[in-house]
Structures are given as structure tokens and as C-alpha cells.
């Protein structure tokens, strides 16, 4: 039985439409106009216990809204959802003690106090026994290598150090489900790598269920076997990372190395990506690969040839761009 079950879940907002000018502003006090924004449009989703699922989508696609619905921060406009058998927006204390939400752009720790003071407050809020609290804190601070920073005010920590502290706060009560909303946003490469290593190790050890949103494909590739793509408030894909290329990419990249001095015109074959003669990279339609290779090998002296998929980042970027264009056209 899935630990997260979502059926026809939707969320819409009424947004005040403000017009320019003093007269229009005064008129708006008495006759307000609103636009309805559909952030989530009837999605269905099942997540099994112990899965690490990536939730991808362009800005405004509904990723964060979905996590807020599943964590009970906001109420839905329609549909149903259960997490560990609980309806999130009923906000029962039994449910709150079994999940955690970490948002990369919002702090849950007291800014002017050392992290250890906030942790003591979390211990009281979640009624964590003293022995369990001390052992969990010791384990997490050792794994993230931040023991020396516990007595330092949060405002004096670097962004990467603060995110480590935020993760510790979220995991102190040992949640069974963890929602991560862009946990590595703004971090440098080393900090991203450290967070990735920790999350991979901790998830494998504790077998907790994690839903992750991120704009960094390295996060997704390093951590998640399953990817859910949401665009325009709807789920467009649910499957493996490698399956995205098969479904959404209609192109391949052919790399050709010609014999020295041979310089044919390849623009008729497709989009020339790079010309470093005698080596050339060309983007062509997937269905045209056999024909193009046959023609090129027949008519030109070739020393080497390679055919590869379009990079995953480009495929997803194209998908997001198409989704944004469709949303703009229908709005």
C-alpha cells in the first residue's frame, strides 16, 4: 500500500488584478477584479514507502504548492490526499510528528540564537525523549560535520552550514516522510555534494520516504531513481530518469571526425552544434539517424563516428520551455 496517495488534487488562488493609475486604484477599493490561478490541476500520485522521488518542473509549475498541500500548510480546492493514512490538512498532531518539511528559501531556526538552542525547542515541541534526542543529534552532527558550529549563532553561519543545520532540525524527531523543497538552492558545488552524500546515506539507512524538488539536475541524478515532472499544474511524466530522454527527446547528437583536409557542408543534415575541424557535432532528428549516417559514410572519408542522446538538462529545459509557452498562450 502506498505511503502517499493523491487523487485529483487541485489548488487554485484568487489574485487581485490591480490596474495602474490613481483613479483605477480608488475604483478598485469598491469594485475589485480577480484572476483565478490554478497552481495544481487534478494530479494523481502514489509513492511507496522508502522511495526517493524527484519532483521537477519550471517555476510556477505547482511543485512547492503540492508539497505544501501534502504537509498540511495549505488546504486544497479539490481532490483527496493521504500521507501515512492521514489527511494532511486536518493537521493532526500525530501526523505532524511523523513528517518534516524543509524549504531551501525559508528558515526554521532562530536567526540570532545558536542552532543547539533551537534544537532544544524542537525537542520540547515533538516531545522527544532526552536519550533519543541526544543520540540523534550526535549522529546527525557527526554525519554533517557541524558539531563545532552548534554554539555559534545561526546568522554567523555560511549558507551551506545553515542548510545542514536546517536538515538536522527536520530530522531530530526521526520523521518517516521528508519533503525537501530545493534544499541546495544557492549552495556552491562542494556544499551541494555534501548535502547529496548525506541525504543518500541517511535515506538508505533509515528507509524514509523523500519527495525532493530541485532545479539542479545533479541533485536528481545523484539521489533519485524515480522522477515526476509537473508542468502547468499537471503531471506530464512519472518514471525513470533515463526514460525522460526516450519520451521527450526527438533528437540525437552525431559526432563525426573527418579525414584531414576534408571539409564538407553539413548544414543540410541538421543543426551544427560545434565545428572544430576535422571534428563536427550535429543535432539531428532521431528518426533520421540511420539515413544520415549511411549518406555521410558513403560520401565522405570518416575516421570516427559517435551517436549519443541529447543531454538530459537540455531535454528537460526544452520541456519546461514548451510548457511555459503553452501556459502563456492559454492565460
Could you please report the per-residue DSSP string of 74-99? S--SEEEEEETTB-GGG--HHHHTTE
CB 209 within 8 A of CB 50: yes
What sign for the dihedral angle of Cα 95, 97, 103, 106?
positive
- d(CA 44, CA 234) in angstroms, rounded, equals 9
State the cell numbers at 45: 500520485
pLDDT of res. 324: 65
Burial bucket for residue 5 (CB in 10 Å: 0-12, 13-18, 19+): middle
- d(CA 7, CA 202) in angstroms, rounded, equals 29
- d(CA 317, CA 216) in angstroms, rounded, equals 12
- d(CA 36, CA 39) in angstroms, rounded, equals 9
User: Which whole-number Å values give the CA distances from 36 to 14, 19, 33, 159, in the listed order?
Assistant: 5, 16, 10, 36
pLDDT tens digits, the chain, 331 residues: what are they?
799 999 999 999 877 677 777 676 667 667 777 777 888 999 999 999 999 999 888 777 888 899 999 999 999 999 999 999 999 999 999 999 999 999 877 788 988 999 999 999 999 999 999 999 999 999 999 999 999 999 999 999 998 999 999 999 999 999 999 999 988 888 888 888 999 999 999 999 999 999 999 878 888 888 998 999 888 888 888 998 878 877 878 888 999 888 887 878 777 788 888 888 888 898 888 888 998 899 888 888 888 999 988 877 788 877 777 766 666 555 5
CB 100 within 8 A of CB 179: yes
DSSP per residue over 140-170, as a string?
HHHHHT-GGGTTSBGGGS-HHHHHHHHHHHH
pLDDT of res. 327: 61
Q: Which residues on neighbouring strands pair with residue 282, listed in sequence order?
A: 254, 272
What sign for the dihedral angle of Cα 100, 105, 107, 113?
positive
Kindly state the DSSP code that residue 114 receives in the 8-state scheme: B
Task: Please state the pTM of the whole predicted model.
Answer: 0.82
State the cell numbers at 233: 499544474
Q: What angle do CA 249, 238, 52 make, to 5 degrees?
A: 115
pLDDT of res. 129: 95
- d(CA 319, CA 56) in angstroms, rounded, equals 11
- The architecture in CATH of the region 4-246 reads 3-Layer(aba) Sandwich (3.40)
pLDDT of res. 325: 65
State the cell numbers at 228: 515526476
- d(CA 8, CA 234) in angstroms, rounded, equals 10
- d(CA 240, CA 99) in angstroms, rounded, equals 25
Amino acid at each position: 500500500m502506498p505511503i502517499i496517495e493523491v487523487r485529483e488534487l487541485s489548488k487554485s488562488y484568487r489574485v487581485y488584478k490591480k490596474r495602474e493609475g490613481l483613479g483605477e486604484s480608488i475604483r478598485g477599493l469598491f469594485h475589485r477584479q480577480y484572476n483565478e490561478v490554478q497552481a495544481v490541476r487534478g494530479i494523481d500520485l502514489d509513492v511507496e514507502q522508502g522511495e526517493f522521488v524527484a519532483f521537477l518542473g519550471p517555476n510556477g509549475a505547482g511543485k512547492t504548492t503540492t508539497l505544501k498541500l501534502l504537509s498540511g500548510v495549505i488546504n486544497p480546492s479539490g481532490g483527496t490526499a493521504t500521507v501515512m493514512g492521514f489527511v494532511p490538512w486536518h493537521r493532526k498532531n500525530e501526523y505532524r510528528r511523523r513528517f518534516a518539511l524543509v524549504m531551501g528559501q525559508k528558515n526554521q531556526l532562530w536567526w540570532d540564537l545558536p542552532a543547539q538552542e533551537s534544537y532544544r525547542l524542537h525537542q520540547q515541541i515533538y516531545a522527544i525523549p532526552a536519550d533519543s534526542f541526544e543520540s540523534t543529534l550526535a549522529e546527525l552532527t557527526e554525519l554533517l560535520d557541524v558539531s563545532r558550529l552548534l554554539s555559534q549563532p545561526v546568522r554567523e553561519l555560511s549558507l551551506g552550514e545553515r542548510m545542514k543545520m536546517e536538515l538536522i532540525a527536520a530530522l531530530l524527531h526521526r520523521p518517516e516522510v521528508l519533503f525537501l523543497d530545493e534544499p541546495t538552492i544557492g549552495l556552491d558545488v562542494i556544499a551541494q555534494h555534501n548535502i547529496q552524500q548525506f541525504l543518500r546515506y541517511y535515506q538508505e539507512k533509515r528507509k524514509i520516504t523523500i519527495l525532493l524538488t530541485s532545479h539542479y539536475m545533479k541533485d536528481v541524478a545523484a539521489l533519485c531513481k524515480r522522477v515526476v515532472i509537473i508542468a502547468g499544474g499537471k503531471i506530464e511524466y512519472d518514471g525513470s530518469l533515463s526514460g525522460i530522454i526516450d519520451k521527450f527527446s526527438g533528437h540525437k547528437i552525431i559526432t563525426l571526425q573527418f579525414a584531414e583536409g576534408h571539409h564538407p557542408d553539413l548544414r543540410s543534415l541538421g543543426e551544427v552544434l560545434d565545428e572544430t575541424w576535422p571534428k563536427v557535432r550535429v543535432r539531428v532528428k532521431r528518426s533520421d539517424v540511420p539515413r544520415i549516417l549511411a549518406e555521410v559514410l558513403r560520401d565522405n572519408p570518416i575516421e570516427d563516428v559517435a551517436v549519443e542522446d541529447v543531454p538530459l538538462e537540455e531535454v528537460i529545459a526544452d520541456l519546461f520551455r514548451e510548457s511555459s509557452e503553452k501556459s502563456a498562450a492559454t492565460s
